[in-house]
Structures are given as structure tokens and as C-alpha cells.
Chains A and B, each alone.
Chain A
Amino acid sequence: MLSRYAAPLRDLATGRPRDYQHRIDRFDEPDWRRYGLLVETAFRLAAHRRFRPGGQDRAPVIRFVASVRERYDRTGYDLDPRLAESLLWATLAGEPTPDPLRSKTHTAQTLLLIGLLDDEGLSRAELDRFLSDAEDHAIGDAPADATGNAPAEAAADAPPTADTATDDTTDGTAGGH
């Protein structure tokens, strides 16, 4: 069973962004810190599963970033290609994340991670295993305050009740439906 930090990522990877939004709305400050660490670790693992480390795969990385930008073209969101490529180069080279102070960096990291997982075509069980592995790695990377017990997300697939299902306030931010 996935933790409450990995469950939102699974929702995103399986194309259920409303469930994702519902989960992250309940995050507090330590949760956000741990979630950020998990996204970064999962991104690193997924990138290493796809590309060779050490900058040998320049053309495939450029093509991959272009394909991710193409996927979100009709949403109106323009993924910065230089930022996206620099994120991939950095993680493949084992260097720190470039430009971590901007929210765009985290957005790009998330969209690239979803693109990598999409291309892998993982089954549900394989996706869960990947995220569990990422959590294990993240625990190894994290400082003491970010590795508290991660409560499991028991009702991952349960339909929302009327009082828990809130209207999405971010619907209009990325284009119409």
C-alpha cells in the first residue's frame, strides 16, 4: 500500500488529477517537504531508467523534452525547454537541481516525471512498485525531520463522498475543458 505522499503521484500518473488535487490539498508543511523529496527521487530514478548517465544521450533527451512539450501544447502551458533539459542533465550527472527556488522547476519536474512514466507504460502494480522504490530511496536521502512515519493512504480508490468532494478552484488556470 502506498503512503500518502506517493498516492498523489500515482493519481497523476494514472490520469486522475482531481484525486491528486484532493490529496495534496490536505498536505501540511512537513508533508510538502517530503512530497517534494519524493518527486525529486522518483524523477531521478525514472530518468536513469530511460537515459544513460553522463551526458551520452543528448539527442534522446532533447527529443523527449520536445515530446513532453507537445503533449501539453493544447493545455496552454508552455514547458520551458531549457529548464526541462537542464533538470534532466543535472539528475543524470548527479548534480543538484538547478533553480530550485522557482515553482516552475517543480512543475517541470512533475510533468517530466509523468512523461517518463507514461512512456514506460507501467501496469498499476509496476507503478506502485516503482513509487515504493522511490520512497525507499527518498528515505535514504532525506534528513531526519522529513522521514517520519508515512501513513498509508487506505482509501486510495474510494469514491468521494459529497462532503469531501470539493469544487476544483484551479480548473480555469490551465485552459478550458
Chain B
Amino acid sequence: MTALSQSAYATFARTRMDEARRAVLGHAVCTYTGVCLGCGRPGPCATLLAARRTLAHHTQRTVNQRPHHYGGNNGQHDYGRRQLPMMTGDVSSPLPADELRAAWLAVQSALDRADRQLSGADDPLPAAGLARWDDALTDAWTALHLVHAGIAEARRLPGTVPASVHEVVDGLTVARVDAERATELAGRVRRQLAAAEDRLRRTSGDAPARVAADRWRTAAARLDLVTARLALGARAIDRYAAALAGTAQQPARPATRWANRSNHPTVGVAASAVDPAGVGTIAAGARTAGAVLLSVHPWAGWRGLLARVRRQRPIDRERSQPC
């Protein structure tokens, strides 16, 4: 029971939840160092735990079950990944730090594996390649450091009231430059990975070499993702900075086929009559795209499951028939 009325209690609960959310945002734990980014204590700090308890209390969730709107999935904790709106502008794109760290670990794993498998080789080529890989690892490490440096730089901004919008924009510009440098480093590592994979595949047909090359391909794919996420974060920073500076622009619109027709008084008839991309063209294109993606994900979803069952049923019938 509470002495407050229902509406007063709802207001009270909302206020407490807002405070708790701010605390969770401000006391995110750095995934790399494990230190609270808000107070510098080993994370998760007491403030963060208290805020999580408050949120759990008001949303009737357990402490270990994160609220959905804090990102992440499968109950996996990834503090420091989504709780930094200043880095992504509208919190719509995740930060690349985790991916870059995963890429770095993948590169390290691939290098260790290749080192073990190529240690007995007399050929100087693999040794030279491995030596260059040490440089690549350093680059990847530097890129990771740059990402975290950018995050630390960017997250100082909303915590305190900035003196002026120019300071915020300048800080975001620095973070963006860091992200660009990290992108360049990740791109360089990716090119080195691709070259090393190609060389290994062409010079050796052994199973261990193939495994090492496959690992490098995986690491390169992860680095592609790192680059993409860095670009998304940089664009979000651009948009955020533009919004702060009051120079935000909507994407230009005349790209559509219907552009410049909507103001015409007889637009309804005109648009359908002179539509250059006919309905048949759109339908054919959409069906082809569906067929292409179907060959990538043939059994996904309920319909995929049904199709799979249907496909297996005749085989099962054949197996169950007596000889």
C-alpha cells in the first residue's frame, strides 16, 4: 500500500525511472577496461547497481534481466555498447568498439593459429607474412584504442551542461576524426588480411593452411562490420552535430519517381498513367530480390519450417517403406 494516489505514484515512479536511466547511461562500464566511465571505479559501480535495482523494481524485472530498451539481446550484458547516445546521435546505431575488439581477438587468434601451424616451415614467405601481421595487430589495437578514446571524448558532453553549442560541436568533430582514423586503420588491417588469406590459399593447399585462411576471412568479415559501424556512428555524429548547430537537413527528396507530380491537380490519374517504372517492373524486381534472399535463408521463419518439413516428408516415406 502507498499513501500516494495512483496518478501521483505513477509520476513518482516515472521520475525515479528517469533518474535511474540517466544513472545507467552515465555509469556505463567500459567493455575493454571494465572501469565505470562515470565515476572511474571498477564497474559495475554501486550507483549503476542501485539504478538497475530501481529499474527492476519499477518494471518488475529481475536485476539480471535488462530492460529491453537498453539494447543488447538474449540477456547478454553489453554495457557501454548502447548507453552512449552522444556517440550515435539518436542511439539508433550501435558502437563499433565490441566488434573491433572481436575483430582484434579474431586476428590474434588467427595469427596464433597460423604461427603454430607454420612454425616448422623453412620458407621465408610465411615468416615474413607473420611479421607483418604483428604490425596489423598493432594497428587493430590502435584502432580499438581510438574508438574508446572517441567514446570517452564524446561522453563527456551531455553529462555536464556545456558552455556553448560550439564546444559540443567541436567535441563531436574530434570524435568523428577519431572514428575516421579508426576506419582507416581497420581498412588497412582488412586489406592486409585479404592479401594474407589470398597468398596462403595460393601457396599452400594443406588443411591447416586452409583453416588459417578461413579464420582470416572471418576476421576480415568482422573488420568489414567494424568499418560499417564506424561509418554509421560517424554519420550519426554528423547529424547530431548538425542538429545542435541548427544546420540539420533532411535527405533530398526528388529521388522518387513520383517527384514533382504531387502538386498537380490531376495527379491521381496522371501518376498512374505515366508512371515510368511500371507495376510489372516493380513486381518482377521484388520477386527476383525475394528469390535471391530465399537462396540465402531457405528455411527461416514458419514458412521455411513448413517448406522443410514438406521437403523431408517424401524422404521419410521412402525410408519407412518395407523393403
Give the total of B residues in contact with A, Cβ under 8 Å.
Answer: 67
Q: Does B288 contact A (CB under 8 A)?
A: yes
Q: Tell me the dominant secondary structure on chain B's binding face.
A: helix
Q: Tell me the dominant secondary structure on chain A's binding face.
A: helix
Partner of A19, one of B229, B278, B288, B302: B302
Please give, as numbers and ranges, the residues of chain A lying within 8 Å of B94 by CB-CB distance: 121
Q: Which of A38-92 contact B (CB under 8 A)?
A: 39-41, 44-45, 47-53, 57, 60, 63-64, 67, 71-72, 75-77, 90-91
Please give, as numbers and ranges, the residues of chain A lying within 8 Å of B303 by CB-CB distance: 16, 18-19, 22, 160, 165
**Complex contact A171–B255 (CB within 8 A):** no
Cα A32 to Cα B275 with chains together (Å): 12
Partner of B288, one of A15, A16, A173: A173
The 9 closest A-B pairs by CB, nearest first: A94-B252, A106-B285, A18-B303, A16-B301, A103-B284, A110-B289, A145-B268, A159-B302, A119-B228
**Complex contact A20–B272 (CB within 8 A):** no
Partner of A174, one of B227, B276, B292: B292
Cα A18 to Cα B310 with chains together (Å): 14
State the Cβ distance, B87 to closest chain A Cβ, in Å. 15
Partner of B292, one of A27, A75, A140: A75
Please give, as numbers and ranges, the residues of chain B lying within 8 Å of A177 by CB-CB distance: 295, 298-299
Nearest B residue (CB) for A48: B251
Q: Would you mind naming 11 contact pairs between A and B with Cβ atoms under 8 Å apart?
A: A15-B296, A15-B297, A16-B304, A50-B232, A51-B231, A53-B252, A75-B292, A75-B296, A125-B69, A145-B267, A145-B271
Please give, as numbers and ranges, the residues of chain A lying within 8 Å of B118 by CB-CB distance: none
Interface flags for A92-114 (1: CB within 8 Å of B; 0: not) read 01111100111111110111001
Nearest B residue (CB) for A144: B268
Interface, chain B (partner A; CB < 8 A): 68-69, 71, 73, 92-94, 224-225, 227-229, 231-232, 235-236, 238, 251-259, 261-262, 264, 267-272, 275-279, 281-304, 306-307, 310
Q: Which of A135-157 contact B (CB under 8 A)?
A: 137, 140-146
Q: Does A37 contact B (CB under 8 A)?
A: yes
Cα A176 to Cα B269 with chains together (Å): 43
Partner of B259, one of A67, A141, A176: A141
State the Cβ distance, A94 to closest chain B Cβ, in Å. 3
State the Cβ distance, B312 to closest chain A Cβ, in Å. 12
Q: Does A1 contact B (CB under 8 A)?
A: no
**Complex contact B300–A37 (CB within 8 A):** no
**Complex contact A144–B267 (CB within 8 A):** yes
**Complex contact A107–B301 (CB within 8 A):** no
Please give, as numbers and ranges, the residues of chain A lying within 8 Å of B236 by CB-CB distance: 49
Cα A120 to Cα B232 with chains together (Å): 7
Please give, as numbers and ranges, the residues of chain B lying within 8 Å of A8 by CB-CB distance: 286
Cα A166 to Cα B80 with chains together (Å): 45
**Complex contact A40–B257 (CB within 8 A):** yes
State the Cβ distance, A58 to closest chain B Cβ, in Å. 13
Nearest B residue (CB) for A91: B255
Interface, chain A (partner B; CB < 8 A): 8, 11-12, 15-22, 24, 27, 29, 32-33, 35-37, 39-41, 44-45, 47-53, 57, 60, 63-64, 67, 71-72, 75-77, 90-91, 93-97, 100-107, 109-111, 114, 119-123, 125-126, 129-130, 137, 140-146, 158-160, 165, 167-168, 170-171, 173-177
Given A32-B282, A144-B268; A44-B292 close (CB under 8 Å):
no
Please give, as numbers and ranges, the residues of chain B lying within 8 Å of A95 by CB-CB distance: 254-255
Cα A124 to Cα B194 with chains together (Å): 33
Please give, as numbers and ranges, the residues of chain B lying within 8 Å of A105 by CB-CB distance: 277, 281, 285
**Complex contact B255–A12 (CB within 8 A):** no
Nearest A residue (CB) for B301: A16
Please give, as numbers and ranges, the residues of chain B lying within 8 Å of A174 by CB-CB distance: 288, 291-292, 294-295
**Complex contact A41–B256 (CB within 8 A):** yes
Please give, as numbers and ranges, the residues of chain A lying within 8 Å of B259 by CB-CB distance: 96, 141
**Complex contact A17–B290 (CB within 8 A):** yes
Partner of A75, one of B225, B264, B269, B295: B295
**Complex contact B297–A16 (CB within 8 A):** yes
Please give, as numbers and ranges, the residues of chain B lying within 8 Å of A96 by CB-CB distance: 254-257, 259
Task: Knowing that A120-B232, A177-B299 touch, tell me 19 more A-B residue pairs with CB under 8 angstroms.
Answer: A17-B300, A18-B303, A24-B286, A36-B257, A36-B279, A50-B232, A51-B231, A51-B235, A63-B227, A91-B251, A104-B288, A105-B281, A107-B286, A121-B93, A141-B256, A144-B262, A146-B258, A158-B302, A165-B306
Please give, as numbers and ranges, the residues of chain A lying within 8 Å of B228 by CB-CB distance: 50, 64, 67, 119-120
Cα A170 to Cα B293 with chains together (Å): 11
State the Cβ distance, A124 to closest chain B Cβ, in Å. 9
